[in-house]
Amino acid sequence: MTTMTVAAHHSGEKAADCSAKRARVLDILAAAGRDSVLLTSHSALSWYLDGSRVGISLAGDPIAALLVTADGDHLAAFNNEAERLAAEELPPGVTIHQVPWPDSLMDVAAWFGAGVAPASEAELAVELRLARRSLLPGELDRYSRLCQDAAGILTDVLSLATPHTTERSIAAELAGRTVAAGADPLVLLVNGASRVDFRHPLPTNAVLGRRAMAVVCARRDGMIANVTRWVRFDAGTPAELDAEARIAAVEADIFDATVPGATVAEVLAEIRTAYDRHGFGPEQWKLHHQGGPAGYAGRDPRATDAVTDTVTLDQPFTWNPSGPGVKIEDTVLLSADGIRPLSVDSRWPAVPVNGILRPETLQL
């Protein structure tokens, strides 16, 4: 079995963030009485390795697994991936164990040897999720830039749209600009006026017509930005304008409920009452998931009544309240000063809602 150690070629800030993450995981192991853990998911690996790309296919599993022990970090990677990971992706100090491509990354005894009994990631899933919920300085800087880029891409593309533009051409432009920005387009949704009632509208050849929605979920450095924007080619109907104002009011109530110490389930309870309070009825929240904490997963995790994770400072969120023909969605950060939207572009029209600038529909 061939091994190599990654040389130091990262900034001091990145090294400090990696050290902080390692300390968090070692604390988790100590509390659980375990000697090691094997990280195997995109979310956990990208977080622990501070943004390393550990996948090839967007639909595939990671091409590496990481054994965290008190003595060091050991990455198992297929032999056709190890050199690239060492040269371009991994933080310093990681020992790489090359695994023949037909073999299993999960067979720790085969590539590491006897002497450890690692916990599976699933055994410590909640603890690991809580460990990554509060962003470190380097992470926040990278995430803020990604979120701004995603918002800017939507501005660039939708500003040039016409009623005759097709949904697929919008998606193609969004994809191209996302890749050009060094990010993976994980989700691209577009609907024109004929499909406006669909909450997850995969793009078709339909033209946009008089109004449209576009959604980008972009991943870079392991983190995922989620943004929704609307464009309209007329003045809008009174019913549309009223619904847009009411869904923004629902979101404002969600922001008010997203405070340190609250549980995700408690925020969801406030979401349910906000829909009814602003005229959408008590059942509207059941027709689409409502979002939740964000960062190294699209939602980390989606808000349900079973999620008792507490909200903390420097934690990102993407809440996405929606109703018939309306939706509002940005990636935001809970800072010491309250909710701060991250996915912003000053070129996009915005209006204060409860003291926070929120995107309006772009009228062309």
Query: pLDDT, tens digit, for every residue of 3-41?
Result: 666 655 555 667 889 999 999 999 999 999 999 999 999
State how far the Cα of 232 lies from the Cα of 163, in Å rounded to an integer.
9
Average pLDDT over residues 271-275: 98
Indicate the CATH number of 3-131 among 1.10.1660.10, 3.40.350.10, 3.40.50.740, 2.130.10.10. 3.40.350.10
Task: Write out the H or E segment, with its range, that includes residue 111.
Answer: helix 108-111
Strands 36-39 and 119-120: parallel
Topology of the domain covering 137-363: Creatine Amidinohydrolase (3.90.230)
Average pLDDT over residues 268-290: 97
Contact 251, 317 (CB under 8 A): no
CA distances from 110 to 123, 241, 248, 281 (A): 22, 62, 54, 57
Contact 228, 309 (CB under 8 A): no
Contact 280, 267 (CB under 8 A): no
Q: Supply 190's token pair.
A: 């577009």
CA distances from 193 to 212, 289, 330 (A): 6, 22, 22
State how far the Cα of 104 lies from the Cα of 112, in Å rounded to an integer.
12
Which pLDDT does position 214 carry in this prediction? 98
Which pLDDT does position 352 carry in this prediction? 98
Is pLDDT of 163 > 70? Answer: yes
Which pLDDT does position 115 carry in this prediction? 87
Which pLDDT does position 13 carry in this prediction? 67
| Average pLDDT value over all residues in the chain | 96
- Least confident among 3-7, 75-79, 276-280, 304-308: 3-7
Q: Which residues of 225-261 are buried (b: 16+ CB within 10 A; e: fewer)?
A: bbbbbbbbbeebeeebeebbebbbbbbbbbbebbeee
Number of other residues whose CB lies within 10 A of the CB of residue 354: 13
Which pLDDT does position 143 carry in this prediction? 98
pTM higher than the cut 0.75: yes
Which pLDDT does position 360 carry in this prediction? 98
State how far the Cα of 137 lies from the Cα of 144, in Å rounded to an integer.
11
Query: pLDDT, tens digit, for every residue of 170-210?
Result: 999 999 999 999 999 999 999 999 999 999 999 999 999 99
State how far the Cα of 309 lies from the Cα of 301, in Å rounded to an integer.
9
Query: pLDDT, tens digit, for every residue of 44-95?
Result: 999 999 999 999 999 999 999 999 999 999 999 999 999 999 999 999 999 9
State how far the Cα of 38 lies from the Cα of 205, in Å rounded to an integer.
44
Q: In the chain, where are the structural domains located?
A: 3-131, 137-363
CA distances from 190 to 116, 120, 231, 281, 327 (A): 49, 38, 11, 26, 13
Average pLDDT over residues 143-158: 98
Q: Supply 132's token pair.
A: 């990554």
Number of other residues whose CB lies within 10 A of the CB of residue 274: 24
Farthest CA pair distance, the chain: 69
Which pLDDT does position 7 carry in this prediction? 58
State how far the Cα of 95 lies from the Cα of 4, in Å rounded to an integer.
6
